Chains A and B, each alone.
Chain A
Amino acid sequence: MSEILKCNSVNKTFLTGQNEELHILKNVSLSIKANKLTVIIGASGAGKSTFLHILGGLDKPDSGEVILLNQNLYELKNNELAKFRNKNIGFVFQFHHLLPEFTAEENVMIPLLISGKSKNEARKSSLELLKTVGLESRKNHKPAELSGGESQRVAVARSLACNPKIIFADEPTGNLDSENSKSLNQLFLQLKNEMDISFLIVTHNPELMNIGDEIIEMKDGEIIPIDAKQNSHGKENS
C-alpha cells in the first residue's frame, strides 16, 4: 500500500517563559499509509498535538521535512501552503471551532468558497456532507443551537468539504460524552471505508485506539510504533 505522508527527522523546540529551550519533538520520523486510520496516543505534553500541527502544515518544524502527497510542505510558500491545505487536508479540532456567526450549512460551505467554488455549488456540496454526517435537518442552525456532538459532526463535515486526501484530528472526542464519542468514532470508520480518505487522529480515547489500523505512541517527543491489533486491549488510556 502506498504511503500518503512521510516525515523525516522532525525537530521542534519551544522557548519557555524563563527563556529555557523545551525540546518537544526529537528527530521524529514516520510514514503513514494511505486509506488507513492511524491513531497517535501518548501522555499529555508528549508532543502529539505539536506533531499533528507540523504534519498538517499548520506549524513549521525547526528542522526536518514533511512530505504529504509527494509534496514537501515546508518548501511551499505561505500562500501555496494555504492552498495546499484547503485542497488536500481536513482538520477536526478538540473544540469544534465552528464560526459562530454562520449556520451549519455555511460553516461547511466556507472551505469550498475558499477553494473558489460558487455559492450555489458550495451550498449543494455542503448539504450532501451534512446528510453524510446525519445533520441535514440542522443545516440552518448556528453552532450555539447545536449540541456538542452535533457541532463536532458539523466540524467533520466541514473537514470533508474539499474532498481531502487526509483528515487530521486533534482529540476530536476530547470534549464529548461517551455516547457522542462512540458515534463520532463510528462516523470516522464509516468515512474511511466509504470514501478514499486517510485519518491521523491524536486521542486519549481507548475506543478510537480499537478502531485504529495503526497505533503510534509518543513519549517525550519521540514515537514508538505499535501494532494496533495486538496492543489495543493491553493499552490503557494514556
Chain B
Amino acid sequence: MNEFFIAKRYLKAKHKIGFITILSAISWVGITIGVAALIIVISVFNGFGGLVKNLLISYDPHIIISTQQAENTEKRINSLLSENHEVKSISPILEAKGIANSGNNFNVVVIKGLNLPTLNSLGFIKQKNRIENDFKNNFADIFIGQILAAKMGLMEGDTISLIPIKTIKQSVVDFTSLPIVYKGIVKNIFTTNNKEYDENYIFTSLESAEIIFGGRFRINSFEIRLGNIESLNTIKSRLQKELGNEVKITTWYELHKNLYDVMQIERWSAFLLLTMIISVAVFNILSTLTMIVIEKKRDIGVLMAMGFNKNSIIRLFIYQGILVGTGGIFSGLLLGLLTCYLQIRYKFYSLDPTKYIIDALPVKVDLLDILSIVLATLFLASLASVYPAKKASEINIVESIKYE
C-alpha cells in the first residue's frame, strides 16, 4: 500500500499551483452536494413508496387465488395454510355490484362479502363496531366507505337498502319479477385514504353476501392476508406448487404493478439525473489530478527510478482520486443523513393535513440505497482518475529527473 501512503500525503500537500487546491475543493463540495441530494431525494422516494405500500396492503388482500373449483380449492388452501403463523386470515370472496339506496339517494356500489374473522380484522376498520352476526332478521350488517357514507348522509347505525344488480336486470326482462331489496345496517364507516375504495365499497359478511347475491356458487376466488408482508413470495410459490396451474395466484404487488413500475422509473430517473451532478463534480477530480501529475512530474520520475512500475503509478493516482471522492462522499453522507434525520424527527418540511393524507414529506433511509450511492460515486471518482493516472504512468523517467 505504498501507493496509498503517498497518495494520502499528496492530498494534504500544499500545491505550488494554487489553482489545484481550489479545484480540489470544488470537486469536494460538488460531490458533497451531489451525494447529499441523492440521499435526500431517494429517501423521499422511499418514503412515498413506503406510504403507498402501507396504504395498499392495509386495504387490498395480499394474495388472491382465482379458481373454477372453489370448494376443493378452499379445503386445500385451508389445509396448507391453517398452521402458518405468517397468515392472518383466509376468506372466500363474494363480490358483485349492487345499488345502495337511502331516501332519494341511489349509488352503484361494489358489495364484497368476506368471512367474519377476515372482515373484523381488516386494518382500516374501527374495532369498536364489529360485525358479530351474519344475516339476521333480513338485515345485513355492513361496513361502508367514508365518501359513500357522506354522499348518502349516513351515520353508524343507519339503515340502507341494497339491491343486487342481477335482480334489477331480471325485472327489466321479466315484468312479473320485482327487484329484491335487502336491508343493511351501517356498523362501521371506514377510511382507506384511497378515493376509489372509500367511494364505492360496501363490506358485509360472506353469509349476507350469499343471500343478497343468491348463493355460494358465485364464489370463485379467495383472499389471504398476511401478518408479515415479507413472506409474500414464499407463500405464493408454495401455494402455486401445491395447487398447480388450475388456480391463478395474484399478489397485491402484481395488482398494482403498473403503479410500481412508474414509481421505479421515477426513482431511477432521479438517481441518474442526480448522479450527473456528481459526474460534473467528479470531472473536477480529473482536472485536479491532471494538474497534480504536471506538478509532480519529477517525483513520479524519481519514484519510477526507485522501482515504482507503471501500475503502481496508475494506482497512486487512482487512490488519490478515490481519496478526494471519499472525502466528498463522507461529507455528503453526513449532510444527507442529517437532513433526513431532521425531517423524520422534526418534520421541518410539513404538508397541510387537510389537503394531503400525511402531515410531512415522508422520508425513509434505505441502507442499500446509501451503499449504491457510495459505490456509484467511488466508481465515478476512480473512472475520472484513470486518464491522469495513465498519463502519469507514461512519463519519461530521464526527462522528468533532468531538472530541479
Contact = CB atoms under 8 A, between A and B. Distances in A.
A212 interface: no
Interface string B361-404: 00000000000000000000000000000000000011001011
B5 interface: yes
A93 interface: yes
25 contacts: A53-B397, A56-B305, A58-B398, A59-B397, A78-B310, A79-B309, A79-B311, A82-B304, A82-B308, A83-B309, A86-B307, A91-B305, A93-B302, A95-B404, A97-B298, A99-B299, A99-B302, A101-B13, A110-B306, A113-B5, A114-B2, A114-B303, A114-B312, A119-B5, A162-B307
Interface of B: 2, 5-6, 9-10, 12-13, 298-299, 302-312, 397-398, 401, 403-404
A110 B2 contact: yes
A175 B398 CA distance: 18
A115 interface: yes
B302 A83 contact: no
Contact of B398 (A59, A95, A111, A162): A59
B8 to A, nearest CB: 10
Contacts of A59: 397-398
- How many chain A residues sit at the interface, stated as a range, is 20 to 34
Interface of A: 50, 53, 56, 58-59, 78-79, 82-83, 85-87, 91, 93, 95, 97, 99-102, 110-111, 113-115, 119, 158, 162, 175
Given A99-B299, A99-B302, A101-B13, A115 B307 contact: yes
A93 B310 contact: no
A95 B13 CA distance: 21
Given A99-B299, A113-B2, A85 B305 contact: yes
Contact of A58 (B2, B305, B311): B305
Nearest to B402: A49
A200 to B, nearest CB: 15
Nearest to B16: A100
B307 A111 contact: yes
Nearest to A60: B398
Contacts of B404: 95, 175
A167 B302 CA distance: 15
Contacts of B9: 101-102
Contact of A82 (B2, B12, B307): B307
A95 B298 CA distance: 11
B308 A79 contact: no
A113 B4 CA distance: 11
Which 3 A/B pairs are nearest by Cβ-Cβ distance?
A86-B307, A82-B309, A95-B404
A86 B306 contact: yes
Contacts of A100: 13, 299
Contact of B302 (A97, A101, A113): A97
A99 B299 CA distance: 6
Interface hub of B5, B6, B13, B307 (most chain A Cβ within 10 A) = B307
